[in-house]
Amino acid sequence: MKMIIVFVLILTISYVSHAKDAADIAIDAVKSHEKIIHFLKDKSSNDYQVTYQQLELGGICGFVGCNWRQLVSVIITSKSSNNPSKTILVLVEGLTSTIDSKPTVSFVNLKTSLENELIVIN
Protein backbone atom coordinates (compact mmCIF):
# COMPACT_ATOMS: atom_id res chain seq x y z
CA MET A 1 0.00 0.00 0.00
CA LYS A 2 2.86 2.37 0.82
CA MET A 3 4.33 1.68 -2.60
CA ILE A 4 1.10 2.77 -4.32
CA ILE A 5 0.93 5.98 -2.27
CA VAL A 6 4.55 6.80 -3.14
CA PHE A 7 3.85 6.12 -6.82
CA VAL A 8 0.78 8.41 -6.81
CA LEU A 9 2.80 11.11 -5.02
CA ILE A 10 5.57 10.91 -7.64
CA LEU A 11 3.01 11.16 -10.46
CA THR A 12 1.41 14.20 -8.82
CA ILE A 13 4.74 15.97 -8.39
CA SER A 14 5.73 15.26 -12.00
CA TYR A 15 2.34 16.55 -13.24
CA VAL A 16 2.72 19.82 -11.31
CA SER A 17 6.25 20.40 -12.63
CA HIS A 18 5.05 19.43 -16.13
CA ALA A 19 2.34 22.13 -15.99
CA LYS A 20 4.91 24.83 -15.23
CA ASP A 21 7.21 23.57 -17.97
CA ALA A 22 4.40 23.46 -20.53
CA ALA A 23 3.38 27.04 -19.69
CA ASP A 24 6.93 28.32 -20.15
CA ILE A 25 7.37 26.34 -23.36
CA ALA A 26 4.06 27.64 -24.74
CA ILE A 27 4.86 31.30 -24.02
CA ASP A 28 8.38 30.90 -25.45
CA ALA A 29 6.92 29.30 -28.60
CA VAL A 30 4.57 32.25 -29.06
CA LYS A 31 7.32 34.83 -28.41
CA SER A 32 9.59 33.23 -30.98
CA HIS A 33 6.91 32.70 -33.66
CA GLU A 34 7.71 34.66 -36.83
CA LYS A 35 4.22 36.21 -37.09
CA ILE A 36 4.37 37.57 -33.53
CA ILE A 37 7.90 38.89 -34.06
CA HIS A 38 6.81 40.58 -37.29
CA PHE A 39 3.70 42.09 -35.65
CA LEU A 40 5.64 43.46 -32.65
CA LYS A 41 8.68 44.76 -34.53
CA ASP A 42 7.35 48.33 -34.76
CA LYS A 43 5.90 48.38 -31.21
CA SER A 44 8.57 50.00 -29.06
CA SER A 45 8.67 49.34 -25.32
CA ASN A 46 8.43 53.09 -24.75
CA ASP A 47 5.00 53.24 -26.43
CA TYR A 48 3.55 49.75 -25.78
CA GLN A 49 3.40 47.18 -23.02
CA VAL A 50 3.27 43.55 -24.17
CA THR A 51 1.90 40.95 -21.76
CA TYR A 52 1.80 37.18 -22.26
CA GLN A 53 -0.71 35.10 -20.29
CA GLN A 54 -1.44 31.42 -20.57
CA LEU A 55 -4.31 29.12 -19.69
CA GLU A 56 -3.86 25.38 -19.42
CA LEU A 57 -6.42 23.53 -21.54
CA GLY A 58 -5.46 20.06 -20.41
CA GLY A 59 -3.80 17.15 -22.07
CA ILE A 60 -3.45 13.40 -22.09
CA CYS A 61 -0.71 11.28 -20.54
CA GLY A 62 0.07 7.79 -21.77
CA PHE A 63 2.92 5.29 -21.74
CA VAL A 64 5.16 7.29 -24.07
CA GLY A 65 4.64 10.73 -22.55
CA CYS A 66 2.17 13.54 -22.20
CA ASN A 67 0.41 15.75 -24.70
CA TRP A 68 -0.44 19.25 -23.42
CA ARG A 69 -2.42 22.25 -24.71
CA GLN A 70 -2.13 25.89 -23.65
CA LEU A 71 -4.06 28.95 -24.76
CA VAL A 72 -1.70 31.95 -24.81
CA SER A 73 -2.91 35.52 -25.07
CA VAL A 74 -0.64 38.32 -26.24
CA ILE A 75 -1.99 41.65 -25.00
CA ILE A 76 -0.48 44.77 -26.53
CA THR A 77 -1.45 47.87 -24.53
CA SER A 78 -0.64 51.37 -25.67
CA LYS A 79 0.88 53.67 -23.09
CA SER A 80 -1.16 56.57 -24.45
CA SER A 81 -3.84 58.38 -22.45
CA ASN A 82 -6.78 56.02 -23.15
CA ASN A 83 -4.73 52.79 -23.04
CA PRO A 84 -6.24 51.02 -26.04
CA SER A 85 -5.21 47.38 -26.25
CA LYS A 86 -5.06 44.65 -28.86
CA THR A 87 -5.22 40.92 -28.16
CA ILE A 88 -3.86 37.96 -30.08
CA LEU A 89 -4.93 34.44 -29.04
CA VAL A 90 -2.72 31.45 -29.81
CA LEU A 91 -3.29 27.74 -29.21
CA VAL A 92 -0.04 25.90 -28.46
CA GLU A 93 0.20 22.09 -28.29
CA GLY A 94 3.19 19.93 -27.53
CA LEU A 95 4.58 16.61 -26.33
CA THR A 96 6.66 16.12 -23.22
CA SER A 97 7.98 12.71 -24.27
CA THR A 98 10.72 14.09 -26.51
CA ILE A 99 13.03 16.96 -25.68
CA ASP A 100 13.61 18.05 -29.28
CA SER A 101 9.95 18.18 -30.38
CA LYS A 102 8.72 21.67 -31.17
CA PRO A 103 5.22 22.64 -30.08
CA THR A 104 2.65 23.47 -32.74
CA VAL A 105 1.36 27.03 -32.77
CA SER A 106 -2.00 27.98 -34.30
CA PHE A 107 -3.72 31.35 -34.13
CA VAL A 108 -7.28 31.51 -32.82
CA ASN A 109 -9.98 33.41 -34.71
CA LEU A 110 -13.00 34.39 -32.64
CA LYS A 111 -16.33 35.01 -34.36
CA THR A 112 -17.65 37.58 -31.86
CA SER A 113 -16.22 41.01 -31.29
CA LEU A 114 -14.71 41.91 -27.95
CA GLU A 115 -14.67 45.22 -26.13
CA ASN A 116 -10.96 45.56 -26.93
CA GLU A 117 -9.77 45.14 -30.48
CA LEU A 118 -8.93 41.53 -31.42
CA ILE A 119 -6.15 41.10 -33.96
CA VAL A 120 -6.11 38.06 -36.26
CA ILE A 121 -2.79 37.27 -37.94
CA ASN A 122 -3.11 35.15 -41.06
Residue pair 118/107 in contact (Cβ under 8 Å)? The answer is no
pTM: 0.68
Domain range summary for the chain, segments of one domain joined by +:
2-118
Give the CA angle between residues 122, 112, 86 to the nearest 5°.
55
pLDDT in tens, 49-106: 999 999 988 888 777 777 889 999 999 998 887 877 888 999 998 887 555 678 888 8
